[in-house]
Chain A
């Protein structure tokens, strides 16, 4: 069974540019989460989808971040325009049910220069 996959694995962009991260969850997992880890800090919650619906986006830093999950399958996280403080590793995770084991992707390391 394929795990959670994320693309790209690394992205280096200039301040002001746009970047779109993609996450393919494990097939059949309704719950999809986005997290971000800034160097040395916690894995910080960004938002949670159940199928195509946003259940909780309380962790989204600001309106430069837009997440979608059209059709309830893969999800994208777009940052526009990117700022220096957006640098970090963006993790996607999925689970069958909320409050149970979440399976993580390998992460996308975003560097904004």
Chain B
């Protein structure tokens, strides 16, 4: 069925460390994989996305990698800062809708 698994559910790091969040999806036809960041009390906002025709995409301190064979994709945040603290959601396209993971609560401690 339509499923996106996301791990870990919580992640605590020290400022300056890296954070990695991993997701798996079930439909090999999925071709669009966005990551959303939701800060406390705010709406989810897109931070980076990747399509199935590339394996990696970077935007400053954020990168996403995609392994289509294994149906895995990951978010990498380097040099974390306290303002990176939020809930992060991965998603995969199923047809023309997005199916989301359960979210990862990231806490970056100064």
Q: Which chain A residues have a beta carbon within 8 Å of chain B's beta carbons?
A: 3-4, 31, 33, 35, 40-45, 48, 55-56, 91, 97-107
Contacts and interface: CB of A to CB of B under 8 A. Distances in A.
Nearest to B42: A106
Contact of A100 (B32, B95, B100, B101): B32
Interface stretch (B43-51, B61-69, B70-78): B43-51
B43 A105 contact: yes
Nearest to A55: B96
B8 to A, nearest CB: 13
Interface residues of B, number: 26
B102 interface: yes
Contact of B44 (A31, A43, A99): A43
Contacts, number: 61
Contacts of B97: 33, 45, 48, 56, 98
12 contacts: A42-B4, A43-B44, A43-B100, A43-B103, A44-B100, A45-B97, A48-B96, A55-B96, A98-B97, A99-B31, A99-B96, A102-B98
A102 B43 CA distance: 12
A51 to B, nearest CB: 13
Interface string B73-103: 0000000000000000101010111111111
Given A42-B4, A56-B95, 8 more contacts: A31-B96, A42-B89, A43-B44, A55-B96, A98-B96, A99-B32, A101-B46, A102-B34
A91 B44 contact: yes
A81 B21 CA distance: 39
A101 B45 CA distance: 10
Contacts of A91: 43-44
A49 to B, nearest CB: 11
A104 B98 contact: no
A42 B42 contact: no
